[in-house]
Every structure is written in structure tokens, then in C-alpha cells.
Amino acid sequence: MSWICPKCERELKHENAWHNCVKVDLDSLFEGKSKELPFVFDTLLLEVMNWKGVVVSTTQNCIVFVHNKTFLIIRPMKKELDLKFYSKTEEESNLISKKIFHAGKYQNHIRVSSLDDITPGVLRFIKKSYELL
């Protein structure tokens, strides 16, 4: 069951859950960025929203996807999207640009800039993160 913050209108998993309480318009995160990035984001959004129990919200600089806990953070950059997802074990892939072990899990980053970058491998990593948490 989710709860909507009356101040920022962000959908959260439960009442009074800690969050950065700032109302941010999704479109504003793509201002001044590559024109293709909203299409890349929409493709990811359409895929992930088909998964059960996903809640999406915006912060000042990213889009957060939650299923029990945060499993994906998408940060629009000037020419690409930074996808941050989690894994229990270290993932070996040349798709991953950065990985950090923190709090018992790996934080992995993949950068995508076009629709061609949304491969089955990228979606598998995101789905694995969704299932992990």
C-alpha cells in the first residue's frame, strides 16, 4: 500500500517515509539535455512499469524506482542517462561503467544515450535489481 506526501505529492511506500520533500516536474529533469533522452527514458519506463508494485518519483536531479526498496535510479545527464541499479554479487560486464560495494550490495552504473543502448542485457540487470530488493 502506498502513501502520497501532501506537500510534494510523491508516492511513497508508507506514511511518513523519509524522503527529500521537493516537488519536481519530470520534464524539468530533461531541460537542456539531448533531445533523444526523453525517448530513451520513456522506453525504460514502459518496460519497468509493467512489473508489479513499482512506484516512480522524481527528486531534484533523478528519477527513483521503488519496489519494496529503491532498485533503480535514473539520472539524466547532458548527453546520456546514468542508470544505477543494485546486485548482491559483483557483476562482470563491459556495459557497467562504475561499481561500488556499499551496505552489503553492489551499486552498478550503466550509461545509455540512445534507444539502441536499451538491450536485453541492460533490462536483465534492472530486473535482477528489482527482484533483489
Cell of 9: 505529492
Question: How many distinct structural domains can be found in the chain?
Answer: 1
Confidence of residue 19 (pLDDT cuts 50, 70, 90): low
Question: By the 8 A CB rule, do 99 and 106 touch?
Answer: yes
Total residues found in the chain within this entry: 133
Tell me whether residue 7 is in a domain.
no
**Assigned domain for 128 exists:** yes
Q: What is the pTM of this model?
A: 0.86
- Tell me: the pLDDT tens digits for 27-66? 999 999 999 999 999 999 999 999 999 988 888 899 999 8
Of 4 and 14, which is predicted with more confidence?
4
Residue linked to cell 502520497: 4
Q: Which residue range forms the structural domain that includes residue 52?
A: 24-132
Please check whether residue 31 lies inside any domain of the structure.
yes
- Which pLDDT tens digit goes with each residue over 93-104? 999 999 999 999
If you search the block for the grid coordinates 505529492, which residue do you land on?
9
Return the CATH number at 45. Answer: 3.30.1460
Structure confidence at residue 86 (pLDDT) = 97
Nine-digit cell at 101?
Answer: 560495494
Does residue 56 sit within a domain? yes
d(CA 23, CA 89) in angstroms, rounded, equals 35
